[in-house]
Structure 1
C-alpha cells in the first residue's frame, strides 16, 4: 500500500481476547488512510497464531522473540512505521470510530506541522460496566507545556497521543521505564515541539484487574523510577518547578501506600504515607495520608483500628 497518513502502533502481550477488540476498533474507523502495526511482544497464549491468520494488507505484525515490554515494543513498531503521523493503541483499550478523523481534523487545522496532539480521557470500568469522561483544563496562553503535562498525575497515556513521524522516530520511548514511559516521552517532545490538546473523547481506556496500574502492582515505586529520568534530563527538568516535583514524588509514595494497604502491609503503608506527607504536607491528599499514618503507625495502629471499629457499632 502507499504510505498512509497514520501509522498505529499496537503492542500486545498475552491478551489475545482483548486484542481482538482493539483491532476491531481500528478496522471500524471512519478515516480510512491508516496502517496498523501490531507488535507481538513474545506472547505465549496463541497470539502468534492469531495474528498470522489475519489477512489484511493494512495490518502488519512484528513478532518479538523476547519480551521488550511496552516501551521497547512500541519502538519496534515505530521503526516499521511509514505513516506521516504516528498514533498508539494498547491491547486492552479501543478507539471510538471517529478517533482518527478527530486527529486528522486537528492536524489539518494546525497546518500539518511537526508537532504532537493528545485527546481527553474516557475510562471504562469493566467491574461496574460504567464509563467516566473527564476534561483536562485548558493550558493558559503563556503556560509552560512541560510543567502543564507533568502536573497530570497519571500522565497522558499513549493511546491518546499522536505525533509526527519525524518526532516519534527521534524521541523514542525509554525501554527502561516500566510505568510512565508515555509521560517521559511526551515531556521530551514538549520541551522541543508544540503539543496541542484535542477537546474530544476519542479513545477508551479499559480499567480491569489486569491493568498495569491495578492496586496489586506497586505503581508508585515504578512511576517514581520513571520520574528519575525526567528529573535527570536538564532539557526537561528546567521546566518543572521544585514544588511540582515534590508534589509528584509525594503522589508516587501515596500510590505505594495504596498498594501496601491493599495487600495489608501495615508497616510499609505507614512508611510510604509518611514519605508522601514529607514531600507535600498540605495538598488535597492530606487527609488520606493522615488516615494511612494513624491507622498503620507501629504498635498503635491496630489498636486504633479496633477502637474505631467498636465505636462504629454504637
Structure 2
C-alpha cells in the first residue's frame, strides 16, 4: 500500500500494557471499514519487548522511544504523527472500547475538513455515570469535555502542532485541540458515539 493510498493512520501509544494492546488488536480486526484504507501505528512510550512481539503478529507498524517519557504519552503521540502516512490521523488508546463503526465514523467526520469530532462515552466523576462528550460543541474546548478518541485530524494539520509543548508537558487532550484551533480551522462535528473511555 503506497503512502498516498492510505486514508487514515491510527496511532496507539502504549507502554507495558500487553493485555490492553492485545484487546485493541482484536477490536481493530472487528472494524467495518467499508473500503477505508488504513494503517495502524503502535508507539511504545519506552522500551517494551512484549509490545514489540505482539506487533510482529499483526499488520501494524511499531516504533518505540528510547526511554519512558510519561506525561500521558505526548512524546509517543508526536512520534506517531511524524511517521503517519495517511491523509488523516486519529488516536486509539489501548484502554478504550470501540464500536465496529468507529474508524469509518471518525474518517467520515473529518473527510474534506481539517478536524472531525465525534462523540464518546466518558465517566463523569460528578454524576457518577457515563456521559456523552463533547456535550454541546460550541467551537470552544472545555477541559473534560473532549477526549483524544473523539478526534480525527488532517495529517498536515496534526504535524504542524506538537503535543509535547513545554512548559505544559501533560498531554491533556483539550490543550492540544486548543492549540489546533488557535488558527482558523474547518471543523466538522458528527453526533455519533464511537466507543467508551474505560479509564477513570
SS of residue matched to 1:201: strand
Within 2, Cα distance between the matches of 1:183 and 1:154? 8
Verify: 1:132 aligned to 2:130, yes or no: yes
Within 2, Cα distance between the matches of 1:206 and 1:45? 25
TM-score w.r.t. length of structure 1? 0.55
Contact 1:6 1:83 (C-alpha < 8 Å) held by counterparts: yes
Match of 2:199 in 1: 207
Structure 1 segments (4+ residues) deviating >4 Å:
none
Q: Deviations over 1:106-161 (max 9, x none)?
A: 334xxx13x11222231479xxxx9834251242xxxxx2xx21xx3314221211
SS of residue matched to 1:200: strand
| Greater length-normalized contact order (CA 8 Å, ≥ 6 residues apart) | 2
Q: Unpaired segments of 5 or more residues in structure 1? A: 140-144, 209-314
Match of 1:23 in 2: 25
Verify: 1:96 aligned to 2:95, yes or no: no
> Which of 38, 44, 54 is 2:42 aligned to?
38
More helix by share: 1
Higher gyration radius (CA): 1
Within 1, Cα distance between the matches of 2:144 and 2:169? 13
Question: Aligned pair in 2 of structure 1 residues 60, 131: CA closer, same or farther (>3 Å)?
Answer: farther
Within 1, Cα distance between the matches of 2:88 and 2:50? 31
Match of 2:10 in 1: 8
Contact 2:122 2:198 (C-alpha < 8 Å) held by counterparts: yes
Displacement, 1:81? 0.4
More strand by share: 2
Within 2, Cα distance between the matches of 1:191 and 1:168? 13
> Which of 178, 185, 199 is 1:187 aligned to?
178
Displacement, 1:173? 0.6
Instruction: Say what the alpha-carbon RMSD is for the aligned residues.
Output: 2.4
Contact 1:9 1:74 (C-alpha < 8 Å) held by counterparts: yes
Q: Deviations over 1:5-26 (max 9, x none)?
A: 0001100011110111122222
Contact 1:89 1:159 (C-alpha < 8 Å) held by counterparts: yes
